[in-house]
Structure 1
Amino acid sequence: MKRLRRAPSAPPESASTSEDRAALALRQAEVLLAPVARWLLRSGVSYGALARLLKPVFVEAAREELARTGVEPTYSALSVLSGVHRKDVRAICESPQTDPASARPHGVPLASQVYTRWLTSRRYRDRDGQPRSLPRSGPGITFESLSREVSVDVHPRTVMEELMRLGLVELEGDVLVARQDSFLPDRRIDELTALFAANAADHMAAAVHNLTLDAPRYLEQSVFADGLGEASVESLHMLARQAWQGTFEEMVAAAGKRVAADAELPEDRQQRMRVGMYFYSEPQNPAAPALVEAPKATTRRPRKGTKT
């Protein structure tokens, strides 16, 4: 079948130079990061928050690479390999491990900071401790005054629209109402998010191992096809679910036996494993959304006694 293909089990011939390999990796990284960007944006995480997170991630990855090749992980070596400035490398390496909650405001988008203040500040709660419904603007306590307490650089309307997009507030007439239930931590969501990250990370780790190391290769293959109709995709999806159910039961039984057999192994000889399966479909030629330039909004502070 012309349109049915199997992913290669071995990597393609390597690029001729390290520059070529870097350019190739960077091009494909864009493909890998696209769904990550969608996930982050739908979760309310901005580019700036991710950029701040990447510095320590690159430094830690550089540390692991240097250790793997037997090179001392000095600040200079970490800086050269990671591309992170030496002073930032030093700050990252010397900073004590802090509670993630204490550092959270630095990586939390503006809209989430505004919403958190709304829920927690006494000024914006009623006598029962519930968040007040806030007029958009005007004298007294309003959403505009709340937003400008957190930042005067972004127009309150922009913050309001982002909170509405995230489903955290509702606009009733000219009054904003907080949806507290949307902000409460959901243990199920926490677990699913952690599982997603672990599954995707191990899948990518297996592929990176196969692409970059001269070592026995992990199983990391897929079957993909195009030119399919909606009914065919649904049929194949069902087949994949059935195939996974059998694999799942067989692997659980076998893994349970192997764990019991290896119970006496010392910790320094223990390993972990993960095996999974996925299915995904989308239109072959999705229409690109039209870019519409939004009307410019003023960012000046409102004069006292005026409405915006």
Structure 2
Amino acid sequence: MNQALSQALYAAIYKLLRPLAALLLRRGMSYNEFAEIAKRAYIDAATEEFPLPNRKQSLSRVSVLTGINRKEIARLEKLPNPIETGETQSANRSSRVVNGWIRDIRFQDEHGAPLTLPLDEGDNSFTELVRLYGGDVPVRAVLDELIRLDSVEVSDHGEAAGKRVALKVEGYVPQTDLKEKLRIMSTAVADLLRTIDHNLEADRTEARVQRTVAYNDIPMECLEAIRGRSKEEVEEILQRINRWLSGYDRGVNAKLQGSGKFRAGIGVYYFEQSLTRGEQP
């Protein structure tokens, strides 16, 4: 790597890490704790994404790629993977249930809005929704988790109608659970970084969508209006995308044929930054 490109990379990494450092300090994570996680990420990336053709990745090659000695690599590889936890799997299932509720026409009214579902067994019930999207997790466990996250409301309509479950949110965005917010944050940022990495290597014809609209001289008094309108318009856009994108998922469209299993989507976020302290966008 030549010096000019190296300097540009250093500047880009600093700009990327600066808000991350603030987030970690706010949550009480020290540099040494971060460095331990960063080493594990380097090792996993080198092992999984940079093997030689038709050869098993060796500790020596991982050491050469990462600059981490073999003894340290062996130590870290014996530790549990930070993201392979039961809590993460449970959260993923809750997310799938809510997303299925929003996008699957079997659980929508004539306007495409999520139906209020009967809790008990039967077509178009909450139990059926969990069976389709929650894997082998008990219905009660999913319901309790969504109640805890304030994502659903349960009402009792008497013995004849039974209990019914209504979705209170427009998507799986927990309002109170910090652990789940952190999981969603990590997924969103990782998705964006993978797109950026792809676009750095790809030519224009193969580049993935990566667009930003921003202005740098906005009065503080205008921000509330910008936030409100952004939220309204983004919700409309995402609902339209959800309707057509779900047709390409075999979990929703059982008639769809094809090979492999991929995850694809479009992420949207709002940002604002004070530039009064001399910070640069």
| TM-score of Structure 1 vs Structure 2, range by shorter chain | 0.5 to 0.7
Cα deviation 1:144-178 (Å, max 9, x = unaligned) = xxxxxxxxxxxxxxxxxxxxxxxxxxxxxxxxxxx
1:201 equivalent in structure 2: 190
Q: CA deviation at 1:204?
A: 1.4
Q: Are the structure 2 counterparts of residues 263 and 80 from structure 1 closer, same or farther at C-alpha, using a change threshold of 3 Å? A: farther
Instruction: Letter of the 1:232 partner, please give it.
Output: C
How high is the TM-score relative to the length of structure 1?
Answer: 0.53
* Equivalent-residue separation in structure 2 for 1:281 and 1:52 (angstroms): 31
* Equivalent-residue separation in structure 2 for 1:20 and 1:90 (angstroms): 35
Equivalent of 2:265 in 263, 274, 287? 274
Q: Matches of residues 1-308 of structure 1 in structure 2 within 5 Å?
A: 17-67=1-51, 72-93=56-77, 95=78, 97=80, 188-213=177-202, 216-259=206-249, 260-261=252-253, 265=257, 269-286=260-277
The percent identity for this pair of structures is 19
2:111 equivalent in structure 1: none
Q: CA deviation at 1:19?
A: 4.9
Q: CA deviation at 1:190?
A: 1.8
* Equivalent-residue separation in structure 2 for 1:71 and 1:20 (angstroms): 34
Instruction: Letter of the 1:277 partner, please give it.
Output: V
Whether the 8 Å CA contact 2:247–2:253 is kept in 1: the answer is yes
Larger radius of gyration: 1
Using CA pairs under 8 Å that are at least 6 residues apart, name the structure with larger relative contact order, 1 or 2: 1
* Equivalent-residue separation in structure 1 for 2:271 and 2:64 (angstroms): 38
Q: Which runs of 5+ in 2 are unaligned?
A: 85-174
* Equivalent-residue separation in structure 2 for 1:68 and 1:265 (angstroms): 33
* Equivalent-residue separation in structure 1 for 2:227 and 2:31 (angstroms): 34
* Equivalent-residue separation in structure 2 for 1:213 and 1:251 (angstroms): 25
Q: CA deviation at 1:38?
A: 1.2
Q: CA deviation at 1:30?
A: 0.8
* Equivalent-residue separation in structure 1 for 2:6 and 2:46 (angstroms): 15
Q: CA deviation at 1:287?
A: 6.5
Q: Are the structure 2 counterparts of residues 30 and 71 from structure 1 closer, same or farther at C-alpha, using a change threshold of 3 Å? A: farther
Instruction: Please report the RMSD computed on the Cα atoms of aligned residues, expressed in angstroms.
Output: 3.1
Q: Which runs of 5+ in 1 are unaligned?
A: 1-16, 102-185, 289-308
Q: Are the structure 2 counterparts of residues 223 and 68 from structure 1 closer, same or farther at C-alpha, using a change threshold of 3 Å? A: farther
SS in 2 for 1:207: helix
Cα deviation 1:157-214 (Å, max 9, x = unaligned) = xxxxxxxxxxxxxxxxxxxxxxxxxxxxx97222211111111110111111111345
Q: Are the structure 2 counterparts of residues 99 and 90 from structure 1 closer, same or farther at C-alpha, using a change threshold of 3 Å? A: closer
Q: Are the structure 2 counterparts of residues 271 and 88 from structure 1 closer, same or farther at C-alpha, using a change threshold of 3 Å? A: same
* Equivalent-residue separation in structure 2 for 1:27 and 1:99 (angstroms): 28
Q: Are the structure 2 counterparts of residues 71 and 29 from structure 1 closer, same or farther at C-alpha, using a change threshold of 3 Å? A: farther
Cα deviation 1:192-246 (Å, max 9, x = unaligned) = 1111111111011111111134581111110121111123333333332222011
Whether the 8 Å CA contact 1:66–1:72 is kept in 2: the answer is no
Whether the 8 Å CA contact 2:46–2:66 is kept in 1: the answer is yes
Aligned residues: 187
* Equivalent-residue separation in structure 2 for 1:250 and 1:64 (angstroms): 36
* Equivalent-residue separation in structure 1 for 2:52 and 2:236 (angstroms): 38
SS in 1 for 2:214: strand
Whether the 8 Å CA contact 1:202–1:274 is kept in 2: the answer is no
Whether the 8 Å CA contact 2:63–2:70 is kept in 1: the answer is yes
